[in-house]
Structure 1
């Protein structure tokens, strides 16, 4: 299957990238030549993991090797991968179900019915906390009024572009609103990669990545880094042109009856006036639309 080949290629590229980034001194190994201090040789990883160099080379080349979980665990342990990276390697080899079901059907980002009424009511109930819902392909499938006041473009962007990853890398409005765009964009991309995992070969994901590679040089550079991260709640700051800086806690929930859908909620940070500023936007919605008017 084409998707199996895609997963093998991604696994090989990921391991190769991580191996090349390892610091030799951390493994009590001398530099290669006079100056090369980063990157372990394939044979050095293979020896530590207890496998043949040829077999490990085939793994990096994306050949059909059918590695056991024990072998992948040994490689991950000896490459000192993080827990998220370890899970990612296992998922690409079929040992963890971190990706969405492979239904063969694309999610319609513009189909309002894709968010069930009860989920929309949950979003609306967040009040002054911006909230939205994303399925496995990260299309923004539903949102509340507070999120629309924070980012009015969500209601006007073409349906095919209403995707969180696409907007982060292509919408200049978002870039202006995020003082830490370089860090935030990489966080999102690393989380997306970890979640998509073995489904990266699905046509929906392939189409999104291909579009982004052709549109955004920043995305292309970040994608080549093969970063993988678990989601972690964190502080987020938005620089809104109408009400100034807004500081939130970024949380993500998965409804038990819709486990493949994630609900993202930005909770106004305690000790700031973000909640008051959001209520002002909700009371004076014309102020928020100034965001969408900026090119």
Structure 2
């Protein structure tokens, strides 16, 4: 099913739906005024660009909802949704519905004002392979090695990946760690931008020394982004992310926070490119 077919299917459900509607300065693919539903459509397989487009759409819808609290923002994905549960949880926290084109009946729940988390919990997502590219036997060997290492010292995911880089691809190590954690064989000692894993809470002091606090890291990012825009002038979120080396979705959230603090504002430089500039202080 193409995106046009998806939009046509939605229009059959809602006769008053308007294509390419403009809301609070943003274009939406479909707007249903009767139920105040703003819909952005996406398609694509599981890859970095799909995730980036998802978070860019999420940012737009959050900004619209910030301007109009009664709006019901929806990301409508063509086919199964190639996102993780963490991505859907992020959407739920920001009040954005995520619906697959194969589950258009969920739009009725959105229309009725159903809880965002409840609707997103029913999303038809693509289940990732737990151990891509490696066999079950090899995965068990890596599990045993990880448990042995973690019993001696706590490690972050990047450290575990570096340690086992010659034995398994990064995604495999990530999913093995997730499975071990889910089974209760390892613990999350510290949660921050760099999660530290271990096997015993007695390792916590060492883990704390290895991981900076989440608030400290966030404050550092905010300051770096603000100072960069002060020095360079108008920049897009992608440019800020590329220069500072942070994920674009994190940078977008930081820029919005700086905007809420009255330090930055968003401008359109050529009619459509959104850039961020500093607000002149009185």
Q: Place the TM-score, normalised by the shorter chain, in its bin.
A: under 0.3
- Larger % of strand: which? 2
Normalized against structure 1, the TM-score is what? Answer: 0.24
Normalized against structure 2, the TM-score is what? Answer: 0.25
